Structures are given as C-alpha cells and as structure tokens.
Amino acid sequence: MTAYDKPLPKIDTLTRPFWELAKDHKLAVQVCNECGDRHFPASPVCPRCLSKDQGWEVVSGRGTLFSWVTFHRAYWGGFARDLPYDVCMVELDEGPLFVSNLVDAAEGKVAVGDRVEVVFEAVTDEITLPKFKPAS
C-alpha cells in the first residue's frame, strides 16, 4: 500500500475532539455551553457570546446538499489520480455548513436540496474523514 499523499488535517487542542469522534464514526460540531450556539469549524471562543465554555456535540449526520462542484484541476499531487472529483457543501440539520466529498452518488443524479447522510472513511491509522452519500 502506498503512503497516503493527500493533505491531512492539522490537529491541535481545539480540533482534536472532532477527529477523535470521527475515528469512532461520529460527526460532531462545537457547541457553546452558555448560549447553545452550534458552529463549525471550531473557535477558541463562542462567536455568538464569546464564552470559552464550549464542548462538542455529536450531530445526526444528516443534512441537505447546499451545493457541490467538480474539480478538474489537482492543486495537490495526491488528488491528481482522482480527477475529476466532487466536493460537496452540506447544510447540517443542526445548522453549520460542512464541506466534504460526495460518495455513491450516481452521475448527473445529484441536485441542490437533496438529502444526504454522513459516512466515514478511514484514510490513515489516525484520521477518518466524514463524507456524505445520498440519504437512504
């Protein structure tokens, strides 16, 4: 097996819980324990109320396809063999927009507003990427 050569996430104190939950096949967003605001990506203070008392909430993994695009250019060598590849933007039922890849979508059968659900793809021993497929 060749080494994984696509960009990997930068894991730090702020983002580690997200990636640990993803490894367990759970999609999570940051939630403010004071005002309840849910957001992603993680922020050192709550963007709504500036509280530092925040945690992570596992979400349903369901959402709506907000938009999607098809890359015909590889900005990293690791993506060159995947060309063309799809990137989707999902509006999670809990609010935040989440960028990911569409899997198991039939060519030409995808539309803005489609229901989608999360699946998980382990790409290294440490990193599992949440991706989305059409909802069953």
Partner 1 sequence: MSDFRALKDKVAVVGVGNTRYGNFPETDDYGLGADAFRAAVADCGINKNEIDGLLVCRIPYYARMGEILGISPRWTIPLPPHGRMASMGIIEAVAALEAGLCKYVALIYANIGRSRRVNYGGDESPNIWDPWGYTSPGAAHAMMFQRHMALYGTTTRQLAEVSVAFRRHACLNPDAVMKQPITVDDHENARPIVLPLRLLDYCLINDGAVCMILTTKDRAKDLKQTPVMISGLGAREAFHEASLSNFERDFFYPQLQEIAADTYGMAGVGPSDIDAFMCYDNFAPTVLFSLEGLGFCPRGESGRFVEGGTLQVGGKLPTNTDGGHLSNSYMQGWALNVEAVRQIRGECGARQVPDCEVVQFVAATPCSRSIIYTRG
Binding site for partner 1 (CB under 8 A): 6-10, 15, 41, 47, 66-73, 75-76, 79, 82, 84-85, 87, 89, 97, 99-101, 111-113, 123, 127, 129, 131
User: Nearest approach, Cβ of 47 to partner 1 (angstroms)?
Assistant: 8
Return the number of the residue (9 or 44) whose C-beta is nearest partner 1. Answer: 9
Q: How far apart are CA 11 and CA 100, in angstroms?
A: 18
CA distances from 130 to 45, 67, 109 (A): 24, 17, 21
- The pair phi, psi for residue 122, each rounded to 5°, is -75, 120
Residue 85 Cβ vs partner 1, minimum distance, rounded to whole Å: 6
Smallest separation, CB 13 to partner 1 (Å): 15
